[in-house]
Amino acid sequence: MLKKQISVELFAVESLQENYDLFASAVETLRAQLQVSNDRGESRKHHPDFLGYGQSAEVYVINVNGRQYACRFADIYTHDSNMYKSFDGKVWTSFEAHVTGLVRMQNTPGFMQFYAVSLAERVTITNIMLGQTIKDWHNSAELLNFEIPDEHINAFFEWLELAQQRNVVLDMQKPDNTFYDRETGFSLVDYTVYVPDLHRPETFEQLLIKTCKIFLPAEDSVAYACFEKFIKRCEFIYTSRYGAELNIWEQVRKLRQKDLMAMFD
């Protein structure tokens, strides 16, 4: 079963590599404009097409045939992809684990649409996520009088569950990997297949606690009240969905979010 799934995924990667021809020259034009140094994106943040950066990657808008896409350069600071061993002895680079995660969540609402990849260049082309990151919402007054609808919260739970069922690990440590759009709801970037050498096994409960952490901004931030309401709503929906026996909410309430947020500054 697992072997079969992996061969289907490898086939998907082959055709995504073929698609890359369509994007290659736009990516090269963009790359030529970026002075790649080890400053973690600081000097490139002001590039007009800059979308975001994390521990390992930088993401920009590219235009191809009149449409806009997100172009992610992986391992931009190390110029190399770390290697990790899986339970079956397979060795994954961190980039391969990311690419396989994208394939595994392909055509799933709430996750990225994956259009093309270059394994050699470690570049992936996806759609641009709608809305703003949770980190941006924390500093925005726009959500203050807005109640996140229950169907958005429900869908978000479903996607977290689905990713876990498919052995896909979401990086929920940071509020800039989750997007929220008032029309379409939540969506996620930054996920990889589970590689034991790289990840600690995680229960659904642990994943939820981690997720709730990112939603509670510092108490003095504009959107604090809104997200507190959101967490209360999550508690209600979660309890009716999974039963009350898992008491994660006590733990969530105890979180010292101020300290946590300090880690992201």
Contacting residues toward Mg ion, per CB under 5 A: 54, 177, 190
The distance of closest approach from Cβ of residue 190 to Mg ion in the complex, given in angstroms and rounded to an integer, is: 4
Task: Pick out residues in 54-113 that bind ligand ADP (CB under 6 A).
Answer: 54-57, 59, 70, 72, 112
Q: Which does 57 bind (CB under 5 to 8 A by kind): Mg ion, ligand ADP, none?
A: ligand ADP
Of positions 52, 101, 110, 217, contacts ligand ADP by CB under 6 A: 52
Residue of 168, 160, 219, 170 lying closest to 195 (CA atoms): 168
- Interface with ligand ADP includes 225 (CB under 6 A)? no
Cα 184–189–192 angle (5° rounding)? 140
Binding mask 175-214 for ligand ADP (x = CB under 6 A): -xx-----------xx------------------------
Q: Which amino acid is at 237?
A: I
Q: Is 99 helix (H, G, I), strand (E, B) or coil?
A: helix
Task: Pick out residues in 112-141 that bind ligand ADP (CB under 6 A).
Answer: 112, 126, 128-129, 133
Counting other chains too, the contacts that 197-206 makes at CB distance below 8 Å and 24 or more residues apart are 197/84, 197/85, 197/86, 198/84, 198/92, 198/94, 198/97, 199/169, 202/164, 202/169, 204/160, 204/161, 204/164, 205/246, 205/248
Cβ proximity of 70 and 27 under 8 Å: no
Size of the site for ligand ADP (CB under 6 A): 19
The distance of closest approach from Cβ of residue 192 to ligand ADP in the complex, given in angstroms and rounded to an integer, is: 9
Q: Which does 110 bind (CB under 5 to 8 A by kind): Mg ion, ligand ADP, none?
A: none
What separation in angstroms does the CA of 88 have from each of 10, 57, 92?
A: 16, 28, 11
Task: Give residues in contact with ligand ADP (CB under 6 A).
Answer: 51-57, 59, 70, 72, 112, 126, 128-129, 133, 176-177, 189-190
